[in-house]
Every structure is written in structure tokens, then in C-alpha cells.
Amino acid sequence: MSDQNEPARPRVGVVGLGAMGLGMARSLRAAGYDVGVHDLRPETAADFAREGGTAFGTCGELAAAVDVLVGVVVNAAQVETVLFGAEGAADRLRPGAVFVMCSTVDPGWSAALEGRLAERGVLYLDAPISGGAARAAAGELTMMTSGSTEAYSLADPLLEAMSGTVYRLGERAGLGSKVKIVNQLLAGVHIAAAAEAMALGIKAGVPAEALYEVITHSAGNSWMFENRMAHVLDGDYTPLSAVDIFVKDLGLVLDTARPERFPLPLAATAHQMFLQASASGLGAEDDSAVIKIFPGVDLPKPVEA
């Protein structure tokens, strides 16, 4: 029997049931939380409700029912809609509730959001994530967080349920997003470099499978080469993270550096590669599809079932 003096567990909601958000919501359920959800695709929220969660028709309805609201949407514009759009969450969250923002956004925008929510009595955690869909489903994400002690005191157990590692980077919003920007610089450059290397090897006549085997056991390997070039070997460009995500994220990287007059030659080149892929009609494909910008490369074909 539970201790009657034990504090009640916070009620939690998740907005955005994409590749990351669905895994995070399931991890919270697995940790024993009652989880409410909202997604623009009602059928996705309904599927989660059949697993034991609760589906809400609007962000505002979900916000009114929870103590901690986790936003797992694509960009700042979508966060604005979640919070301040028609039937948004900001005016429905109770005073003292916490909004946990997991998107990759401009750090200055994130810092300003803390103040906008504070005017409504709502606490805020800047908490971008990394790790991919598999780690989200396993509750093993990396979270790069910053915010007030009060926000952490309510949200901490939920962060732990969704992640393998929670980095607490400071007491003000923006620091979490700054670290995520640096991470995305590396991630985007690594994918672009991996695609360039694989394309060169294939063009030079090296069998793709042999090249992958050697590189993944050599000093030139990276996590992104090993993960993304496996997609190329399979000829499968079903997006987990799309080309257009890195058009956005590397754009944010360059925007962050520009006021500092800080040069980012590798990030700028990688950004142009993803822009070229997007302009060629590949924006919705997996980010490994950036390899398709190289001419005359006979890429592996999908394995037929």
C-alpha cells in the first residue's frame, strides 16, 4: 500500500508524438506516470490512448489537466503555436506548472520564452534532446537542460524517466539550447562528411558494404557514419531525421555565430550541402539522402521484400 504522506506524482502531458515524442511518452508511461497527449494527427494520439494514456483534442485542454507539459515539436514556430496559438497551452497551464521545451531553437528565443511564461506564473525548462527514436523509446535520451531550481524540482523525475543522462547546465534558459546548437553543428558536419566519404569510395569502385565494414572499424569512423551510412547501404531513406531538419538546424548554428562574427566554414559548407539536397526535392527524405547530391554515384538499391 502506498504511503498516504507520499506527495502525489505530477500529472504530465506530451505535445508532439513524432519519432521522439512518442517514445518519450511511452517511457513516461513505463515509469508509472499518467500521461496525456496531443498531436496534430488525432489517430496517433488515439493509438497512444489505447495503450493506456489519455488523448486530448487541443493543447489548451491538455495543459489544463497537467502539472508538467513537455513540448516535442520541430521548431520555434511550432512551439509558439503550442503555447500561444488558438487554443494554446500558455494561458491554460496553472501557476507553478512547468513547460519543458525539447525542440532545437535559437538560444536567444528560448531565453526570452522563459520571461514570457513567467509573466503567466509558468515555469520553464530549456531542454533540447539528442539520441534518436530508438533511445527515446528506451528512455535513454540525452537532455541538455537549463532553468530555475523551482522548475527542476517539479520536472526532475520526469526528465529522469525520459533520458539516460540529464545535463543541468545553468539556472537560466538558453544554455541548454546553446549546447544543442554546438551538438547540431557536429551532427550536421559529420553526416555531410560521412556522405562525401561514402560517395567518393563508391565512385572509386569500392563496394559499399566493404567500405562500410572497414571504416566502421577504423579511426575515420563516427557515430553518424555508422548510423546514417547503414541507411545508404539499405537504400532506405525513410526519414527519422529529415534533410530539412538539418537545413533548419545548421541555419540556426550559423545564425548563432553571425552576431559574434565567428567563422564556421565547415558548418556553412554542410549547410549548403543540405540546402542543395532539399532544393533537389530530397527535403523530406532521411538526412542521409544528402549523399544523393554527388553526381555519377551508383548508390545501393533498396532490398526487395
Q: Output the CA–CA distances (angstroms, integers) from residue 208 to 153, 198, 288, 299, in the order listed.
A: 50, 7, 14, 8
Average model confidence (pLDDT) across the chain: 95
Confidence of residue 303 (pLDDT cuts 50, 70, 90): confident
Question: Which candidate in 180, 203, 292, 301 is catalytic?
Answer: 180
Instruction: Show me where the domains of the chain are located.
Output: 12-173, 178-293
- How far is it, in rounded angstroms, from Cα 18 to Cα 177? 20
12-173 homologous superfamily: NAD(P)-binding Rossmann-like Domain (3.40.50.720)
Please list, in sequence order, all residues whose beta carbon lies within 8 angstroms of the beta carbon of residue 135, skipping any fewer than 6 positions away: 23, 141, 142, 164
Q: What is the CATH number of domain 178-293?
A: 1.10.1040.10
Q: Say whether 203 is catalytic.
A: no
pLDDT digits (tens, 9 = 90+) for 239-292: 989 999 999 999 999 999 999 999 999 999 999 999 999 999 999 999 999 999
**pLDDT mean over 4-29:** 89
Residue 8 has what pLDDT? 77
Query: Is there a common fold for 12-173 and 178-293?
Result: no
